[in-house]
């Protein structure tokens, strides 16, 4: 025995047309014709009532008479186009005076199409169908746009969460060892930064300090930096390098972090501060943002020109050693702080950064870093740095 499905078929919701015309005979006649074509039809007898109905019902198409009391057709169009909620409404203007200059005025004031009151039933049908098609395309575009915005909101929340995680990897300003104070600044350019820095506590009186700068911006550099930060943890360095020597650490890191397929790489400075012997051992890989501000007022940029990590796996990085004294300050920074352009493209540069540091002199480190950032912002002309800004300043008090 055969069986017949009794499941109800999905009902198609008819498209809605709003007719606004102060002439009852013309309005009712047009409404009857559109109903025969399968449309749901709404009617209003003046512009103000039609505007209220448009806001309430959101029809697919509005057919609007030019000449009406209270609010004429062009004025109606202008109100609709100024309302963000109604901006995409499709409006078909009817007129008995379809002169070129009148049509141009109506289009300029917000109508999408024109329909002569003397048009044949075939033209009426064709123009209504064209308006309905346009409304459908706009609706689909709005739906797609809304979905994109929804996904962007989700992505933005995820990026904010990732940014909080990345920042959680950074050290907190304060005392990091006997007689050693640290202050830091971190301002990623896109919410999620690829520049990181940290302290590696080798022992009670031996501290590792590093600042790495990832090429590129956004999610990918941030993920690569987070992976690199994991490699630079004390237990990882003990396992992979077996030494606190900065040159040996960078030489090993160079093997673990080659160039990416897109040509992205890291620059880095790694320093080891021996508090007992009052010496600073350091190595750099393509990173120029490191200087020592002596108690005497002398500023020494201590980086050497060499390759960033990943360019050549056979590269060996050497270690240099400097004596330090109480009152010396070490600044490790990404180039995002000083390579900022003004309106003409002129970079602020290391010389101007030096000038700020000298001017602020022996003021507390937080004031010096704040002053440097403020001067860079003033030079830039706005608050949004084009590159990540990361700074770690360390003062050896010796106390």
Closest among 385, 274, 298, 285 to 338, alpha carbons compared: 385
Kindly state the DSSP code that residue 60 receives in the 8-state scheme: S
Same domain, 174 and 121: no
Mean pLDDT of 111-134: 89
Tell me what percent of the residues of the chain surpass a pLDDT of 70. Answer: 94
> What's the confidence (pLDDT) of residue 165?
73
> What's the confidence (pLDDT) of residue 250?
96
> What's the confidence (pLDDT) of residue 169?
76
Mean pLDDT of 372-385: 93
* Three-class secondary structure of residue 46 per DSSP: coil
| Range from 133-142, 212-221, 269-278, 301-310 carrying the lowest mean pLDDT | 212-221
> 308 to each of 210, 257, 350, 369, how far by Cα in Å?
14, 10, 20, 26
Query: Please, are residues 393 and 183 in contact by the beta-carbon 8 Å criterion?
Result: yes
| Range from 24-38, 190-204, 239-253, 288-302 carrying the lowest mean pLDDT | 190-204
**pLDDT at residue 116 tops 90:** no
Domain count, the chain: 2
Mean pLDDT of 157-161: 72
Mean pLDDT of 11-18: 82
- What confidence category does residue 155 fall into, taking pLDDT thresholds of 50, 70 and 90? confident
From edge to edge, which strands make up the β-sheet containing 206-214? Answer: 195-203, 206-214, 266-274, 279-285, 320-323
| Range from 30-34, 154-158, 171-175, 388-392 carrying the lowest mean pLDDT | 154-158
| Model confidence pLDDT, tens digit, residues 41-91 | 999 999 999 999 999 999 999 999 988 888 999 999 999 999 988 988 999
**Averaged pLDDT score across all residues of the chain:** 89
Query: Please, are residues 341 and 347 in contact by the beta-carbon 8 Å criterion?
Result: yes
**Domain span at 41:** 16-143
Same domain, 210 and 340: yes
246 within domain boundaries:
yes
Put residue 72 in one of left, alpha, beta given phi > 0 → left and psi -120 to 50 → alpha: beta
Closest among 266, 354, 271 to 320, alpha carbons compared: 271
**Is 0.75 surpassed by the pTM of this model?**
no
**pLDDT at residue 183 tops 60:** yes
> 246 to each of 209, 210, 281, how far by Cα in Å?
9, 9, 7
Tell me what percent of the residues of the chain surpass a pLDDT of 90. Answer: 61
* Three-class secondary structure of residue 367 per DSSP: helix
Residue 282, strand partner residues = 271, 320
From edge to edge, which strands make up the β-sheet containing 113-116? Answer: 40-44, 16-20, 61-65, 91-95, 113-116
> What's the confidence (pLDDT) of residue 12?
64
Same domain, 202 and 287: yes
Mean pLDDT of 328-356: 94
> What's the confidence (pLDDT) of residue 399?
67
Please state, in angstroms and rounded to a whole number, the distance separating the CA atoms of residues 105 and 153.
40
155 within domain boundaries:
no
> What's the confidence (pLDDT) of residue 1?
47
Same domain, 377 and 259: yes
Same domain, 200 and 291: yes
CATH code for the domain of 199 = 3.60.40.10
Mention every residue, 6+ apart, whose C-beta is less than 8 A from residue 188.
Answer: 163, 166, 194, 195, 388, 389
CATH code for the domain of 109 = 3.40.50.2300
* DSSP per residue, 195-242: EEEEEEEEETTEEEEEEEEESS-SHHHHHHHHHHHHHTSHHHHHHHT-
Same domain, 221 and 304: yes
């Amino acid at each position: 025995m055969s069986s017949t499905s009794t499941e109800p078929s999905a009902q198609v919701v008819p498209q809605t047309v709003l007719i606004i015309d102060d002439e009852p005979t013309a309005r009712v006649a047009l409404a009857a014709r559109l109903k025969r074509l399968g449309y749901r039809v709404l009617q209003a007898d003046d512009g103000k009532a039609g505007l209220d109905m448009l806001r309430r019902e959101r029809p697919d198409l509005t057919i609007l008479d030019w000449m009406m009391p209270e609010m004429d057709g062009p004025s109606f169009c202008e109100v609709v186009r100024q309302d963000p909620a109604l901006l995409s409404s499709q409006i078909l203007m009817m007129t008995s005076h379809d002169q070129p200059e009148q049509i141009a005025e109506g289009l300029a004031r917000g109508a999408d199409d024109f329909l002569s009151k003397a048009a044949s039933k075939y033209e009426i049908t064709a123009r209504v169908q064209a308006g309905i098609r346009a409304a459908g395309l706009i609706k689909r575009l709005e739906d797609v746009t809304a979905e994109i915005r929804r996904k962007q909101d989700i992505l933005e929340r995820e990026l904010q969460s990732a940014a909080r995680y990345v920042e959680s990897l950074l050290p907190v300003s304060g005392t990091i060892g006997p007689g050693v104070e640290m202050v830091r600044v971190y301002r990623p350019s896109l919410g999620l930064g690829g520049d990181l820095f940290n302290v590696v506590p080798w022992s009670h009186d031996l501290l590792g300090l590093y600042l790495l700068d990832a090429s590129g911006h956004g999610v990918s550099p941030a993920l690569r930096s987070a992976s690199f930060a994991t490699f630079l943890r004390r237990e990882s360095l003990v396992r992979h390098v077996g030494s606190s020597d900065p040159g040996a650490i960078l030489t090993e890191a160079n093997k673990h972090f080659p160039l990416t397929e897109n040509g992205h790489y890291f620059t880095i400075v790694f320093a080891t501060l021996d508090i007992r012997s009052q010496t600073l051992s350091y190595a750099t890989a393509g990173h120029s943002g490191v200087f020592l501000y002596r108690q005497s007022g002398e500023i020494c940029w201590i980086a050497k020109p060499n390759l960033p990590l990943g360019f050549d796996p056979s590269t060996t990085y050497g270690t240099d050693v400097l004596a330090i004294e109480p009152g010396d300050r070490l600044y490790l920074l990404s180039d995002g702080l000083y390579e900022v352009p003004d309106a003409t493209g002129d970079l602020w540069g290391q010389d101007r950064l030096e000038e700020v540091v000298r001017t602020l002199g022996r003021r507390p480190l937080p004031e010096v870093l704040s002053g440097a950032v403020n001067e860079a912002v003033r030079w830039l002309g706005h608050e949004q740095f084009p590159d990540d800004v990361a700074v770690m300043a360390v003062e050896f008090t010796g106390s």
